[in-house]
Structure 1
């Protein structure tokens, strides 16, 4: 089995058995993002416990790349500190914006490295990024909601 086939299997597996799918409580922020190019949608909730990403839940409608990316992302980020999660987010963004020429850190990305081939398909990059951008937005809102007034 070649590497591309393995990566395709990872994406198909995550699109079928969507980890952390279904909106859960409690949460500090909820966002809804849409990819206007293809119509993929995600509603995503973030729950923080201090500096820890305690939970990310979502409801996604879209292609297998979009839904698999949400599944992989939640699996990678839940339980990490906000700073550790940001390292993963930034590595994923660099890979997706690298147009297939960026060599990702597989230890940081784990299963998310399966989307490296997607980075070569400009029409599909937004599909893979949808849930990650929603997470970034929700994290910003959650952080704003939990900051104490001066």
Structure 2
């Protein structure tokens, strides 16, 4: 039986999550509308209508050619968004064609979220950035404020 799974993340910024999701999905040729709601709204599960979840940021199932929406709900106690994703449907929708599994997808969302956060809060005209990827896959980004010689 298919059902939503709630997965803890460290996604903490709404704008960065939305922009990161959009950039990540566009990179693989998916251009869905990403819904953003101040208060959580119901996710749709076309497989099991009794399985109810709510989310603030949503990608609707029809845009992913799946049966179940994908959502991210704000958890104020953890100060981050939790992902509501059904692994069974994920493997069968458009995302499953591009990501090995839900965990792989969420890792890529985290990287996209972090890149968007840096671009939002440290604009390229004021900051330079250098990102180094270690052999274990760990990424380190160094930000340096640009000096204004005319200030």
TM-score for both structures, normalised by structure 1 = 0.31
Q: Indicate the structure (1 or 2) with the bigger Cα radius of gyration.
A: 2
TM-score for both structures, normalised by structure 2 = 0.31
Name the structure with the higher strand share: 2
